[in-house]
Copies of this chain bind each other. A is one copy, B any other.
Amino acid sequence: MSFKLTVLGTSSATPTLSRRPSAQALVFKNRTFLLDCGEGTQLQCLKYGVKMFKIERIFISHFHADHYLGLMGLLSTLALKGRTQEIYIYGPEGLQELIETQLRLSEAYLTYPIHFIILSMDGTHTIYEDKFLEIKSIPLAHRISCWGFLFKQRQPYRKIDKEALKHKNVPVAAFKALVYGRDYIDESGKVYSAKELTYGLPMKSYAYITDTLYMESVAQQLQGTDMIYHEATFLHELYENAIRNFHATALQAATFAQVAATKQLLIGHFSARYDDLQPLLDEARSVFPNTLLAEEGKSYET
């Protein structure tokens, strides 16, 4: 397990008695990332054991009310509780203005620095990377600028292939180079090939794709992603409605998963018109069997 996803909200535009607006907490190596922050997210964190203080980076897919309205409340609560650790917020232009306007009107201040990173609609970009993790923003097709996010595990080390090692007399000094994927050449000029003697570990990945029309190019780009969350606002019988509102259907989410050849599809962002979500799940599974409904409070691991 590399990524643990806790779903905090699965409703589209308006909340219902059983579904809150979009938000997800993604935990990776004890670091927490928040994906969207609909109204009430701070309370959902409290309810489902997501430690708000651990949130390191927040990603806002777009500037629609059901995706960002909880941001100010969450930031305020962190300040009231005395957070000092900086926080990074990725999203559309204007988030900084929104927060600063509210702080000015409230005559309030935050106890920690925020770094705002404005996303670009001009292609996919790596917006964060370190030795263990890479995060990309992927432009989607919604009424306003909107991005999906791809989280990819990185592993700076390779595993020594004990089988390949058996009949080779590899000097101890070679291992440090080999695990980093570099060949080692001893004093006599003999080459120990990292490619032959080591193998890479499987790297986990998770993609968050909402709100958007069906985009085959994005699905292709996400080839082999372990788990994908894709919006499924409507049943396909409301395809016209989906198009008009720049949303996708359950069938399209499943087709997306199929094209991306993901292992696991989660669907969410359900229209408030659906009390019973089973038909959406059935529809998606007819195309992509390994589909699950994103359920609030539930965690999914990959």
Binding site for B on A (CB under 8 A): 13-17, 20, 39-40, 42-43, 46-47, 63-65, 69-70, 72-73, 76-77, 80-81, 92, 94, 97-98, 101-102, 105-108, 143-144
How many angstroms from the CA of A46 to the CA of B40 in the assembled complex?
14
Chain B min CB distance to A43 (Å): 5
Chain B min CB distance to A244 (Å): 14
| Shortest Cβ-Cβ A-B pairs, 4 listed | A94-B105, A65-B76, A39-B73, A40-B40
Chain B min CB distance to A220 (Å): 29
Show 23 A/B contacts (Cβ-Cβ < 8 Å), sorted by A: A13-B76, A14-B42, A14-B80, A15-B46, A15-B77, A39-B39, A39-B40, A39-B42, A39-B70, A40-B43, A63-B106, A63-B107, A64-B108, A65-B76, A65-B102, A65-B106, A69-B72, A69-B73, A69-B76, A94-B105, A101-B101, A107-B143, A107-B144
Q: Are B76 and A17 in contact (CB under 8 A)?
A: no
Instruction: Return chain B residues, CB-CB under 8 Å to A108.
Output: 64-65
Tell which of B15, B16, B40, B47 touches A17, judged by Cβ atoms closer than 8 Å.
B47
The main secondary structure of chain A at its interface with chain B is loop
Tell which of B13, B65, B77, B105 touches A14, judged by Cβ atoms closer than 8 Å.
B77
Residue of B nearest to A71 (CB): B69
How many angstroms from the CA of A65 to the CA of B94 in the assembled complex?
19
Instruction: Return chain B residues, CB-CB under 8 Å to A13.
Output: 76-77, 80
How many angstroms from the CA of A210 to the CA of B284 in the assembled complex?
50
Q: Are A64 and B106 in contact (CB under 8 A)?
A: yes
How many angstroms from the CA of A108 to the CA of B20 in the assembled complex?
21
Q: Are A14 and B81 in contact (CB under 8 A)?
A: yes
Residue of B nearest to A143 (CB): B107
Q: Are B63 and A105 in contact (CB under 8 A)?
A: yes
Chain B min CB distance to A101 (Å): 5
Chain B min CB distance to A28 (Å): 26
Q: Are B101 and A46 in contact (CB under 8 A)?
A: no
Instruction: Return chain B residues, CB-CB under 8 Å to A15.
Output: 42-43, 46, 77
Q: Are A101 and B107 in contact (CB under 8 A)?
A: no
